[in-house]
Structure 1
Amino acid sequence: MSLNGWLNVDKPAGLTSYGVIARIKKITGRCRIGHAGTLDPLATGVLPIALGQATRTVEYLHQLSKTYQADIELGTATDTYDAEGRITFTADASAVTLSQVAAALKGFSGSIEQIPPMYSALKLNGRPLYELARRGETAELKPRAVTIFRLDLLEFTSPVVRIEVECSGGTYIRSLAYDLGQALGVGAHLKKLRRTAYGCFNIGQAVALDELTDVGGVAAALLPLDHGLDLLPRLMLDAAMSASLSHGVVTPELRAQLAEGQAYRLYAAEGVLTAIADLTGPELRLKVFGAAQPGE
């Protein structure tokens, strides 16, 4: 059975994203597998898993927004910025009020600059930052531009702040927790995190990892190859264009419809994703897909 498509997995706590892939790979055998949007072991929720030809579309999902519910505990900061780290600072947070929390959170809305945590998979000179951190090394990290589209204060039961965040890719909720503690002057760390949406992948349709026990179950849960690609403009191909694309050739008529700096989804007449034409780089990149449907 050829498996091509996406799984919307509800990742359990205590497992890395690669641990999820390892479990699914054990079920599916030699199927090529990848994922979009790494979740830390502490985090749960939506983890998009790509199988087969869908692994060639992962790069485009990084542009999708993500939504999280997070519990942030005031009064304690850690070196990892979450509950799994070593305590580096404590303070009495009992005097912090709801209005102070709400006012501080307003400072993190919109386009902001954020310094990623040292304990992260980001690389510096080819080495993951967490390797440096575990060796006691430090590095001067530059702030990165991220966007917080929405930040709602759901509840404040001292010392825990519960928020819901919709943000751009590259945003670290752990850093947001740390920065909130700094803004309030009492320190803070991320206590709990659940991703409820990743673009059109949402928690309501996610499948629990433990429910995926055999190849048939994986095939039944597969979403289409183009799931999550709605951000790319869609173009329909005529017979001549489709025939040329099957040989990796873009006809002049098709090329005339493609604008520089944009990637496109290309569909055959029967509505099957045939290719992605990507002009976001210095030259045209063409990803041609087979005609296999999910689970075939």
Structure 2
Amino acid sequence: MSSIHGIINLNKPQGMTSFRVVARVRKLSGERKVGHSGTLDPETTGVLPILLGRATRLARFLVESPKVYRARIEFGRATTTYDASGTTTGRGDPSSLTLEQIESAINSFCGPIEQIPPMYSAIKHRGRPLYHLARAGIEVPRQPRMVTIYRLDLLDWQSPILSIEVECSKGTYIRSLAHDLGQLLGCGAHLEGLVRLQTGIFHIDKSISLTELEDVFEHGYWETFVHPLDSVLSHLAAIVVDAAGEDAVVHGRPLALADGQDAAHGEQRRAYSSDGRFLALLRFNSQNGSWRPEKVFV
């Protein structure tokens, strides 16, 4: 099988780490360079874009894109991990919670907020992942991080379970959101279930399961499910270069273009050949009016 360069919109199964999923796709595809665009906890399911070949160089565009989740939060029990797998740290009675109280509480988390990440996370403290310290029974202070909740919709409330849909910025921990809601409402809470519905342009409705992916690789029609490299760059304007411009791009030389001189300093654009091939990601230097190839994909 020849090298594969593109992105697979994979629906991660429950019970697998993101690392194991990547290892499985690497074995199925035969492609050495395989990565993903943002870790999902083992028990979380949903959209996990898998990057193959040169697409691994575009990971940051997906990591930085907004995410959408559907979450189930159970009130009445707080845990060490902020999810159902953790040891109980506190209990409360959620039976008196009203829909109005819950709506008011979730609305208070909309917009830019400071969020303290859980101890059971991959964030590093003095070079060690926090979850290593947590497993050793060590808790350390964590600095709050600014995240943004763009949208928080209440889907259902059947005490003690709250179902919500959240659209948020990168770095948002839905486990922390569940824990903080429980603290605010005074009865404790933890994340009972989580599905990632969307990452950037990739939606769960158009994803493929790992079982289905195994089948398409076995039967040789995997190309249908590999999205092109430039699909995650559609928010950037495009520039078409002639043969001389293509040669400059391929060899990493800056080029001056009549098209694009109105760009802002540091602006990025997609570069295509005259026959429509995606060549590179360019960045504009307003000081000398040139476009520098930042990432070349040919």
User: How far off is 1:29 after superposition?
Assistant: 2.3
Q: Distance in 2 between matches of 1:105 and 1:172?
A: 15
Normalised to the residue count of structure 1, the TM-score between the two structures is 0.92
* 1:7-53 deviation per Cα after TM superposition (whole angstroms, max 9, x unaligned): 00000111111111011111122431010021101110000000001
Task: Provide, for residues 166-223 of structure 1, a one-character-per-residue CA deviation record: whole Å limited to 9, x for no partner.
Answer: 1111111001000100110000000000011111100111001111122624333101
* Aligned twin of 1:74: 75
Of 242, 264, 268 in structure 1, the residue corresponding to residue 269 of structure 2 is 264
Q: What TM-score does the superposition give when structure 2 sets the normalisation length?
A: 0.91
Task: Kindly indicate whether the alpha-carbon contact (under 8 Å) linking 1:279 and 1:285 is maintained by their aligned counterparts in 2.
Answer: no
Match of 1:185?
A: 186
Deviation at 1:262, TM superposition (A): 3.0
The answer to whether the Cα contact below 8 Å between 1:201 and 1:228 also exists between their aligned partners in 2 is no
Structure 2 counterparts to residues 219-238 of structure 1, below 5 A:
219-238=223-242
| 3-state SS of 1:133 partner | helix
The corresponding residue for 1:101 is 102
The residue correspondences of 1:101-250 to structure 2 (distance < 5 A) are: 101-213=102-214, 214=217, 216-250=220-254
TM-superposed deviation, 1:147: 0.8
- Between 1:169-178 and 1:263-272, the stretch displaced more is 263-272
Verify the 8 A CA contact 2:12 2:209 in the aligned structure 1. Answer: yes
Structure 1 stretches lacking a partner, 5+ long? 291-296
Aligned sequence identity (%): 48
- What does residue 293 of structure 1 align with? none
Counterparts of 2:273 and 2:170 in 1: how far apart (Å)? 31
User: Are residues 285 and 236 of structure 1, via their aligned partners in 2, closer, same or farther at CA, if it must alter by over 3 Å?
Assistant: closer
Unmatched tracts of structure 2, length 5 or more? 286-290
In the TM superposition, what whole-angstrom CA distance separates every residue of 1:229-276 from its partner, at most 9, and x where no partner exists? 223332222332112111111213379565333332222222222011
Q: Structure 1 residue 111: deviation in Å?
A: 0.8
Measure the CA separation in 2 of the matches of 1:181 and 1:279: 48
Of 81-90 and 3-12, more deviation after overlay is shown by: 81-90
Say if 2:279 is the partner of 1:274.
Answer: yes
2:4 and 2:52 in contact (8 A); partners too: yes
Aligned length: 288
Q: What is the SS of the residue equivalent to 1:212?
A: helix
Deviation per CA, 1:38-94: give whole Å up to 9, x if none. Answer: 110111000000000100111122221110100000001111111111111111111
Once the 2 structures are TM-superposed, how far is the Cα of residue 159 of structure 1 from its aligned partner? Answer: 0.2
Distance in 2, matches of 1:285 and 1:88, equals 53
Q: Distance in 2 between the 1:194 and 1:13 partners?
A: 10
Name the SS for the 1:240 alignment partner. helix
Given that 2:45 and 2:195 are in contact with CA atoms closer than 8 Å, whether structure 1 keeps it comes out as yes
Relative to structure 1, is the Cα distance of residues 118 and 240 closer, same or farther in structure 2, using a 3 angstrom cutoff?
A: same
Residue 291 of structure 2 corresponds to residue 289 of structure 1: no
Q: Which residue identity does 2:235 align to in structure 1?
A: L
1:284 CA displacement: 5.8
Name 1:4's counterpart in structure 2.
Answer: 5
Q: What is the one-letter code of the residue matched to 2:170?
A: G
Give the aligned partner of residue 288 of structure 2.
Answer: none
Whether the 8 Å CA contact 2:4–2:31 is kept in 1: the answer is no
User: Structure 1 279/137 Cα, relative in aligned 2: closer, same or farther at 3 Å?
Assistant: farther
Tell me which amino acid in the other structure corresponds to 1:265: R
- Please give the root-mean-square deviation of Cα atoms over the aligned residues, in Å: 1.9
Residue range with higher mean Cα deviation, 205-214 or 270-279: 270-279
Code of the aligned partner of 2:174: I
The secondary structure found in structure 1 opposite 2:281 is: strand
User: For residues 168 and 17 of structure 1, do their structure 2 counterparts lie closer, same or farther at Cα, with a shift above 3 Å needed?
Assistant: same
Residues 46 and 196 in structure 2, CA contact (< 8 A), matched pair in contact too: yes
**What does residue 41 of structure 1 align with?**
42
